[in-house]
Structure 1
Amino acid sequence: MYMNKTPRTTGAHSPLRILPRTKTRKTSKSACAAILPSATTPMDCRDCSILIIRRCSSSPTSKFYSRRKIPISTAWNSCLTPTRQAARSALNTPSRKVPSPSWNGDCIKMKFLRKIVWLALISLVVSTAWSQIQTHQYREREDAIANPLKGWVIWGENYTTPPQPTTLFFSYRSWRKLEPVEGRFEFEQWENDVWQPWTQRGMKVIFRVYADYPGRPIGIPPWLIDAGVTLTKYDDYGGGWSPDYDHPLFLEKVQRLIAALGERYDNDPRVAFLDVGVLGHWGEWHTYPRTELFASVRVQREIMKGFLTAFPTKKMMLRTPSSWSAQLAFGYRDDCFLTDTDGPEDWKFFNLFRSARAEDVWKTQPIGGEFCGGGEGAKTGTLNQPDECLRLIEEGHFSHLGPAGGSIVAENDAHQRHVDAMLKKMGYRFVIRDATFPLRVESGKPFVFQFTIENVGSAPFYYPWTLQIILRDLPRQETIVKNTEIDVTKWLPGQHGVNLQMIAPPVVEETTFHLGLSIGEPVEDGARIRFTNVGNEENGVFYVGEFNVTSAANLRDWNEY
């Protein structure tokens, strides 16, 4: 509490408010009131601590206060006016302790005043800090754009200009062509014959190796047949020859092929995904309706293990989910999208997922598919059942559809709008919603960069590409790139807040930097993911705004954040 009477001041300082330190140890109100105005009554107040709230400026309108606890003797010595200096001798004179006063209305008033002062201080600090912060909001663009590792897929064997935006192409290859002589692999010829025209355009491949393709020549190498692996003729789908998948020599040699494929392609940036093949018609893991020709469960699992060992990095897709494969690092491919995707039959694609308890596989592994009926099936399906296609893409979390999807030629504008809507929903689609950062920061000092990303697609991005912060000094044409440790594969559909602690770059004079975001493939001249925003985008970098960096007298090292 403060006393009923306070000393007047004749100097520049504003009046003091004097309070005892605690409720349990107070100086008598009547005794101190007698001392303070006259300083004639001997009394020992040296053990009392008091709280002083005083203006830090002589200005009567100053809003800044300081609070501190000091002994009462010190307070009188430093703050009393000359007319009260006589209190010094009284304060130094021993005397008995006096009873504590009651808790009166003056204390309540003081308590309220203290709260007001602190609220004012907090408000001032917050308003001052945030006055230097800028926040921007951004709009999503309406068009469909081609982005890496998602969307429509086109056949790789026939090189044409895709009528739809696409970044993926599909390529088959027979074991016979890949290993015409035992132990000699012809990978380079495959790449030159099929891949090169597409990869030169920055596109990536989804490939599959087969040992049996109905209507085409025998898929296994002649030397393997000569070694004793038997073939069985069939007439379905144009006819062909199915090898004995359970033959020990077949399993041994195919495991060597898988290992060679992994050694060459697991870290190859040209490869998007691997379509696990080898077994069954077209390498699709079935020999329907001749089910007796297919591999045993034991061989199927050995093949899966071989691919997992050979491809620890690349994402791979199987034809059919099972309770066993659902526990492994495989995605899946719907072999007959739209026609066989959903329905009451237990063999439908969605029902197979449910029975295998693989509904959450899409969160870490890609889901792809192709239309039944090739190019005509893709065109007819998107034209006649666009809403159903869109529903299946969203509920099944499909990242890509092909290999005929990229060759769809729209019948009319409405058809093209439906095709674009499907492309926008497939896979990821990252939109920057807002960003907050300083207007000005001192060189070498830390600052916070916050932004919100929304994935409005149906699936995440599946590879750990690098989220980069771009600082561009336009007058000097200099660009600084800082890599972050943000895991973009965790951006499932929905909003994601990012909070980065950064260090302002060193400058010798005040410099304006344009602040940008980019997600890049961690290889030299790698691809970039485009944010689907309206605004300033350049070479895969979206610029959220600009801020100034001021020079500092002593520049610190620009450390990694």
Structure 2
Amino acid sequence: MRRLVTAAVAALSILLLPTAASAAPAGPPARPPVGPAADTGLTTHTYAYADAPLGQPLKGFAPYLFPGDNLSTKYPGGLVWSYFALNEVMKDPASCTAFDWSVFEKALDEAAVWGRQVAFRFYLEYPGGSGTHPGNGIPPCLNGKMALRTNGFWGTVSPDYDDPDVINALVGFINAFAARYDHAGAGGTADPRIGFMSLGLVGLWGEWHTWPYDRDTADGYPDLMPTDATIRTIIGAYDTAFDNIQLEVRYPLAGTENANIGFHDDSWPYKEWRNGQLKGMTLPVSMGGWDDAFLQLQLNTGTENRWVTQSIGGEARPEIQGSLYAGWPGGNNQVDDVLAATELTHITWMINQIGAGGYSTSDPKVAAGVRKMGYNLHIPQANFNATASGTFKVGVTMRNDGVAPFYYPWTTVIGLRDASGQIVKTWDTSWDLRQVQPLKIRAFPDWGVGADPTYLDFGRPVNFSATLSTAG
């Protein structure tokens, strides 16, 4: 079990094709309710803010996981990234219900050696392959059972995603994966080696697009995307099968309207030239973005607040990874406003191979950027008396100065120190870290609540308490 201890003391992102039904922006999310107050009958201890170490779990930059790579040379972080072809686990030509998880297990174990967890995606078509995984990921059990089409632009083989045999195979994989990894941890929690799962399976690189063979057939290319009915079936299968692992999908597609699924932005926060105009691929139209920018699509579908309960990840666009933070907190050249993109996407983690291998830990701009991502927990005060005997009470106040919550129910542990500072006993608590939401959130201009930037009160400091016994 993973614990947070306190002392009591490449992929190219193209145009979106199918989306969920159009809706208005959701507007500012409702604030969490006020929780219990601190017990002032106990002695109050206050603590000044100090920056957290750079390498926090489940956030920050994720380099690619290459066999034998020395991750100690990478920028500190809690994650690695890897793709997997579906036919690397569905190998049996005679059965679509047989699974060999060894290639995935090997990656999980190798990442764990470095104290990192794996963010990953399974795919069926990957132009040219990843170098360590094949380009054609179609399971052999589907051979001869469905039509195969060619994406001539990328040179990939695309299955008929609407074929019943294909749908059954994908849903079968989703259910088998969830049965093995979503409930494998202590008490039915997720496998502790897993960080985040990108839905994958559909489209180029598993990014849920088949450009230019998409629904825009005016360009002369036929449509290779699945229908909305098929998309809803696959999205629904993920949503039903998974309870614990944080899931992310590239676009707010059909079926994501109310699903417990987050999103990932594969062009974060890139500015792209089109017809002589330079606009952003992350920030909305109201902030200089294209009409298919990541956040514009969320505003269009009313899903811009999904981050409150479901994680947001992505990939720093490869062209700008090395210079991403050069203009922090703003941007430069084809790097959009990085602070705005961080605050409005509420991004927790990103694939950043070049940056993870090249950023300096002494660069204050990079440090500020990575600390701003995801959660940034701080304990401003605790309430406990200086001595303990029999039954005693401890209270701890937590606040979050980041842009997102901590998304997993890790166990917080209280430790009791003796006069020399040695921890002589510990207790697991039932405190839920996911309740500690960001204190402030940045408003979209589209919400009409003030000039940009406007920051709204959102989360509150959360007072946790536990009554403990010194027995033993």
Paired position in structure 2 for 1:419: 366
Asked if 1:500 is matched to 2:461, the reply is: no
Paired position in structure 1 for 2:98: 184
CA shift in 2, pair 1:224/1:394, >3 Å: same
Structure 1 residue 133, shift from structure 2 partner: 5.2
Paired position in structure 2 for 1:367: 312
Asked if 1:296 is matched to 2:244, the reply is: no
Of 332, 335, 349, the match for 2:266: 335
Asked if 1:149 is matched to 2:58, the reply is: yes
The two structures have a TM-score, normalised by structure 1, of 0.62
CA contact (8 A) 1:214 1:236 kept: no
Of 134, 139, 156, the match for 2:43: 134
Asked if 1:314 is matched to 2:241, the reply is: no
Distance in 2 between the 1:422 and 1:231 partners? 44
Q: Higher RCO, 1 or 2 (CA under 8 Å, sep at least 6)?
A: 2
CA shift in 2, pair 1:190/1:406, >3 Å: farther
CA shift in 2, pair 1:229/1:265, >3 Å: same
Question: Unaligned regions of 5+ residues in structure 1, if any?
Answer: 1-128, 508-561
CA contact (8 A) 2:328 2:369 kept: no
Paired position in structure 2 for 1:433: 380
CA shift in 2, pair 1:225/1:433, >3 Å: same
3-state SS of paired residue (2:461): strand
The two structures have a TM-score, normalised by structure 2, of 0.73
Paired position in structure 2 for 1:211: 124
Identity %: 30
3-state SS of paired residue (1:282): coil
The structure carrying a bigger helix percent of its residues is 1
Distance in 1 between the 2:462 and 2:366 partners? 31
Paired position in structure 2 for 1:379: 322
* Amino acid in structure 1 at the alignment position of 2:80: F
Structure 1 residue 142, shift from structure 2 partner: 3.2
Residue-by-residue CA offset, 1:358-383 (whole Å, 9 max, x unaligned): 1221110000110222xx52112222
CA shift in 2, pair 1:449/1:190, >3 Å: closer
Residue-by-residue CA offset, 1:55-82 (whole Å, 9 max, x unaligned): xxxxxxxxxxxxxxxxxxxxxxxxxxxx
Asked if 1:390 is matched to 2:333, the reply is: no
Asked if 1:444 is matched to 2:390, the reply is: yes
Distance in 2 between the 1:323 and 1:302 partners? 9
3-state SS of paired residue (1:435): strand
Residue-by-residue CA offset, 1:287-344 (whole Å, 9 max, x unaligned): 1111010111011111112112322221100110147413110000001101110142
CA contact (8 A) 1:153 1:405 kept: no
Of 482, 494, 499, the match for 2:427: 482
CA shift in 2, pair 1:506/1:245, >3 Å: closer
CA contact (8 A) 1:207 1:273 kept: yes
Give the number of aligned pairs: 369
Asked if 1:401 is matched to 2:319, the reply is: no
CA shift in 2, pair 1:476/1:368, >3 Å: closer
- Asked which structure has the greater CA Rg, the reply is 1
CA shift in 2, pair 1:438/1:335, >3 Å: same
CA shift in 2, pair 1:163/1:476, >3 Å: closer
* Amino acid in structure 1 at the alignment position of 2:86: W
Paired position in structure 2 for 1:453: 398
Structure 1 residue 149, shift from structure 2 partner: 1.0
CA shift in 2, pair 1:133/1:308, >3 Å: closer
Question: Unaligned regions of 5+ residues in structure 2, if any?
Answer: 1-38, 130-134, 183-189, 215-222, 271-280, 331-336, 440-459
CA contact (8 A) 2:378 2:398 kept: yes
CA contact (8 A) 1:378 1:408 kept: no
3-state SS of paired residue (1:173): strand
Paired position in structure 1 for 2:199: 276
Asked if 1:244 is matched to 2:167, the reply is: no
3-state SS of paired residue (2:321): helix
Paired position in structure 2 for 1:88: none
